[in-house]
């Protein structure tokens, strides 16, 4: 029996669902019940009837699943899969920001710990940040937007809103530079440029479309273009190629690899299913407080 067959067997036995992020290894993407971005994965976690959620992503994503389905068992095959961006801000630092700006609404990117989400009024993903600001925070006098300064900058350019920001960023996306885009465009002049909003502003300015990973997948299907330069973590290319046979996808930078996203393997998924560990554990207080910010976020899905 193959690892894939055994995983399928255990999944049925335990009424489990496997949620997989777009940046995961191709073989892990292949066993997904649902493959998507942070927003889509959050929606699935909130709606699932499974008893056991196996989350193949980084830790803050598994925490989000636990917050949305606290009565369910949530496991992450590699608990050491973290997020450098999420680690840039702590709950205490968020509390200090709120003290300094008591009139401000707290908006946190989903790439934060559950404890930071508990300190915020509303959360967002790269897919719905624009909608959250335009529709959910219309009357806010000022907005604290943490931790990604580049996502905050992009949303600011789209809305005309000024944010109180944090010096956080994704090192993988920040490593994609304008010269990477320009060189690929020189080699592929007809290619459409798709860039993630976690990229630097000078990279986003070169893009035809600034999109979440799910947005990139939708655009690639709908576009008449045959070539695409993709400015995000290279794991998305596997899905783009599989879903769009005949089209060519060129990474803006071949070095845009998130080591944390690659820590989960089929073997680890199997072991976690067998033992139903490592479990994501959060206090009732953190779940209760963070739930409000995430549930508000999902209103703008």
Tell me the domains of the chain and their CATH numbers. Answer: 3-81+261-292 (3.40.50.10800), 86-170 (3.40.50.10800), 176-251 (3.40.50.10800)
Structure tokens at 207: 């893009």
Residue ranges in the chain whose pLDDT is less than 70: none
Structure tokens at 50: 């499974």
Q: Is the peptide bond before 103 cis (omega within 30 degrees of 0)?
A: no
Q: Report the distance separating Cα 245 and Cα 270, nearest Å.
A: 30
Q: Please, what sign has the CA dihedral across residues 134, 135, 138, 143?
A: negative
Q: What is the model's pLDDT at position 301?
A: 82
Q: What is the model's pLDDT at position 98?
A: 97
Q: What is the model's pLDDT at position 147?
A: 98
Q: What is the model's pLDDT at position 42?
A: 87
To the question of pTM greater than 0.85 for the whole model, the response is yes
Q: What is the model's pLDDT at position 26?
A: 98
Q: What is the model's pLDDT at position 39?
A: 82
What's the start-to-end Cα distance of the chain, in Å?
Answer: 40
Summarised one tens digit per residue, pLDDT across range 78-108 is 999 999 999 999 999 999 999 999 999 999 9
Quickly list H helices, the chain.
3-14, 26-29, 38-47, 59-68, 91-100, 114-117, 129-131, 149-159, 171-174, 178-187, 201-204, 213-222, 236-243, 266-275, 284-298
Q: Report the distance separating Cα 293 and Cα 204, nearest Å.
A: 28
CB contact at 8 A, 155 and 145 = yes
Residue 145 has φ and ψ, to the nearest 5°, of -120, 110
């Amino acid at each position: 029996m193959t690892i894939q067959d055994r995983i399928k067997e255990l999944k049925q036995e335990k009424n489990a669902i496997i949620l997989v992020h777009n940046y995961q290894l191709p073989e892990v993407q292949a066993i997904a019940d649902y493959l998507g971005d942070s927003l889509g994965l959050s929606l699935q976690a909130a709606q699932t009837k499974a008893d056991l959620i196996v989350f193949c992503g980084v830790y803050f994503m598994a925490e989000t699943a636990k917050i949305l389905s606290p009565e369910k068992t949530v496991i992450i095959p590699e608990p050491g899969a973290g997020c450098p961006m999420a680690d840039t801000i702590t709950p205490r630092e968020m509390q200090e920001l709120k003290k300094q700006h008591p009139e401000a609404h707290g908006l946190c990117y989903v790439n934060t710990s559950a404890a930071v989400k508990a300190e915020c009024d509303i959360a967002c993903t790269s897919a719905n940040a624009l909608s959250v600001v335009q529709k959910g925070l219309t009357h806010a006098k000022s907005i604290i937007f943490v931790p990604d300064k580049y996502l905050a900058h992009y949303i600011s350019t789209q809305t005309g809103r000024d944010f109180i920001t944090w010096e956080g960023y994704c090192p993988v996306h920040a490593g994609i530079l304008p010269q990477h885009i320009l060189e690929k465009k020189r080699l592929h002049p007809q290619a459409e440029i798709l860039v993630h909003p976690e990229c630097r502003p000078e990279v986003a300015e070169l893009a035809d479309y600034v999109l979440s990973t799910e947005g990139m997948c939708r655009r690639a299907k709908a576009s008449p273009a045959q070539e695409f330069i993709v400015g995000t973590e290279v794991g998305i290319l596997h899905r783009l190629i599989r879903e769009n046979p005949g089209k060519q996808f060129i990474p803006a930078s071949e070095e845009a690899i998130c080591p944390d996203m690659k820590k989960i393997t089929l073997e680890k998924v199997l072991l976690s299913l067998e033992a139903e560990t490592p479990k994501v554990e959060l206090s009732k207080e953190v779940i209760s407080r963070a739930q409000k910010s995430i549930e508000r976020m999902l209103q703008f899905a």
